[in-house]
Amino acid sequence: MSTRTLIVLAEKVNVIERVAHDARRLLVATLAESSFAHIALTGGTVGIGVLNFLGAHDGDVPEGERVDWSRVHVWWSDERWVPASHADRNDVQAEAAFLGALSFDPINIHRLPASDSGMTLDEAAEQYAHELTEQFPRLATDGPITARAREFAFDLLLLGVGPDAHIASLFPGRSEGLTTSTTVISVRDSPKPPSERLSLTLGAINSATHVWLVSAGVDKSGALRRAMGDPDFLIAPASAVQGRLETRVYCDKNADPSDSD
């Protein structure tokens, strides 16, 4: 049974540094036991801040804590349906300081398709779902995820939390993210622009061994309070997140859901 742990730091910069440190240690431990590690990334100021910190400080850590990034597969939990070079894309924001700064094998970087890929939105969702299935044969969509081996799920999945408690591109009041027929969905008429997006479903998110929600700012305190409450996907998608081994919520003091003031 996954545990849900709240970790409150003083400032946003402390959240970024702590998540980066913990992620590095988790990846090192994973790679000590497995040929590859799989991490799913998120956007947002904290999520991108974590990636920038990892890229900028990789050479500063002790030798025994350095990640062999060539053995890390990179995925995304969602993406905006815009051209491949568009600044709003999560992978573009991660490119220079993270993907381009570390020794990733390009074949291990799994980008969600872009609007100028020649695919329709639905075709793009199907293509990414197929890519996931090729990597994770046990990422079944017709029942509970079977936790047999690390290679069959994300080792770490990072998620930002919106002020409305949305995660990835799964928004309150919308049930398409609960589907069990696929791992990736097309999102249309998103309440947050752009209106068209691609997103992992809740089942695909909850297949991850470790799921960490990262957030900062006073505008996130209400969302995190709902996220830490009873699971109700339609009211607060973040509340339904449940990693197979653990779920962590990292935030700064301004976003602390336990602060009643």
Q: What is the mean pLDDT of residues 4-28?
A: 97
Q: What is the mean pLDDT of residues 169-182?
A: 95
Query: In this predicted model, what pLDDT tens digit does every residue of 102-123 receive, in sequence order?
Result: 999 999 999 999 999 999 999 9
How many C-beta neighbours within 10 Å does residue 176 have?
15
- The answer to whether residue 170 is domain-embedded is yes
SS3 63: helix
Q: What is the mean pLDDT of residues 184-203?
A: 97
CATH of the domain at 113: 3.40.50.1360
pLDDT at 144 over 60: no
- The chain-wide mean pLDDT, for the chain, equals 92
Domain membership of residue 188 as a residue range:
3-255
- The answer to whether residue 260 is domain-embedded is no
CA-CA distance, 134 to 64, in Å (whole number)? 32
φ/ψ of 187, rounded to 5, equals: -115, 125
Tokens representing 67 are 């990640």
Provide the domain count of the chain.
Answer: 1
- The answer to whether residue 44 is domain-embedded is yes
The pTM of this model reads 0.93
Give the model's pLDDT for residue 153: 80
pLDDT at 3 over 80: no
CA-CA distance, 77 to 200, in Å (whole number)? 5
pLDDT at 39 over 60: yes
Residue listed under structure tokens 């049930």: 175
Query: In this predicted model, what pLDDT tens digit does every residue of 244-260 receive, in sequence order?
Result: 999 999 999 999 998 75
pLDDT at 147 over 60: no
Give the rounded percent of residues in the chain with a pLDDT score beyond 90. Answer: 85
Give one DSSP letter per residue of 163-214, joined into a string: TT--BTTB-TT--GGG-SS-SEEEE-S-SSSSS-EEEE-HHHHTTSSEEEEE
* 3-state helix, strand and coil shares in percent for the chain, rounded to the nearest 5: 40, 20, 45
